[in-house]
Structure formats: structure tokens, C-alpha cells
Amino acid sequence: MSSDARARTLVAAQFLALGVLALPERRHRRPAWRRAIGWVLIVGGGGLAAAGAAALGPDLRPLPVPRAGATLRSTGPYSKLRHPIYAGIFAAAVGRSIATGGRRHALATVGLGAILSAKARLEEKLLGDVVDYRSYKAAVPRWGLGR
């Protein structure tokens, strides 16, 4: 499968998982502390994703294929982790799963994590063809939890 086809498949799968997370959960109400933790992750993850998107500016795009002439961002949230948008989306998904306690949301979150990880690997490979990614990759952890 070509990189472009793989990128499009990953984006479609990502939006499918996000769609499942957007569906309401019909279970009983979760304890207030679980909802609070969930909302902290949803808001914090959303903020991280928004900061990453703002830092990309015109290079922001849903496909993990860099634009021609793209420049490597290594400041702001990109100085702490290589994929702040993906990390923020995943944190928000974890928060949604915690807040609702639904199996469907938990499964969608696990799937979304695998999709975002695959997207990150593909994006790093493709970025390496456009910019000097090797030194950045050595200096900044992918998810902020280590190299």
C-alpha cells in the first residue's frame, strides 16, 4: 500500500474512532470523581491538541503527509513531544472513556491509540524525507514519556 493510501486509511479510521467516542453512552451515571478526572483529561487534551495545531499554522493538515516546503516545528509544544496533537486527542479520548465508563468508548480509545501511533510512525518516516528529522527525534520524545 502506498504511503498516501495508508495515510488516507489511517485518517478515515481515526475519524471513525472519534465518531464512536462522540456517541452517547447509555449506562448509569458514573461517580462524580470519575467524571471530574475525565473532564480534566478532555479539556487538557483538547488544549494540548489546540496548541499543537496553532504551532503548525499553515502546515496543519489531517493527512500525516508533510506539505512541500514544510518546516520542522521544534518550539512550543513541539519542544516537549513530537506529536502534541495526537497526544492531546488521545488524552481527551481517555478522559471520555473514564468519564462514561462505557465499553464502546474504551474500545474506541484503544483503537484510536493504535491508529494515532501508526499515524505518528508514518508521519515521522515521511518527515524524514523532507526535513532533518534525526536530531529532533533524538532530542524530543514521541509522546512525552521517554524516547
Within a domain: residue 68? yes
The listed range with the strongest mean pLDDT (28-32, 65-69, 70-74, 98-102) is 98-102
* Prediction pTM value: 0.92
Domain count, the chain: 1
Within a domain: residue 49? yes
Within a domain: residue 145? no
For residue range 76-94, list pLDDT tens digits in order: 999 999 999 999 999 999 9
Task: Please name the residues in contact with 38: beta carbons below 8 A apart, sequence gap of 6 or more.
Answer: 30, 95, 96, 97, 98, 99, 100
- The three-state (H, E, C) secondary structure of 12-75, written as one string: HHHHHHHHHHHCCCCCCCCCHHHHHHHHHHHHHHHHHHHHHHHHHHHHCCCCCCCCCCCCCCCC
* pLDDT tier, 146 (very low <50, low <70, confident <90, very high otherwise): low
Within a domain: residue 7? yes
Report how far residue 72's alpha carbon sits from residue 6's, in angstroms, rounded to the nearest whole number.
Answer: 22
Report how far residue 108's alpha carbon sits from residue 90's, in angstroms, rounded to the nearest whole number.
Answer: 10
Amino acid identity, position 61? R
Within a domain: residue 117? yes
Within a domain: residue 147? no
Mean pLDDT score, 115-135:
91
Within a domain: residue 11? yes
Containing 125, the helix (H) or strand (E) segment is: helix 103-128
Domain that holds residue 91: 3-24+31-139
Amino acid identity, position 130? V
Within a domain: residue 144? no
* The pLDDT of residue 107 is above 70: yes
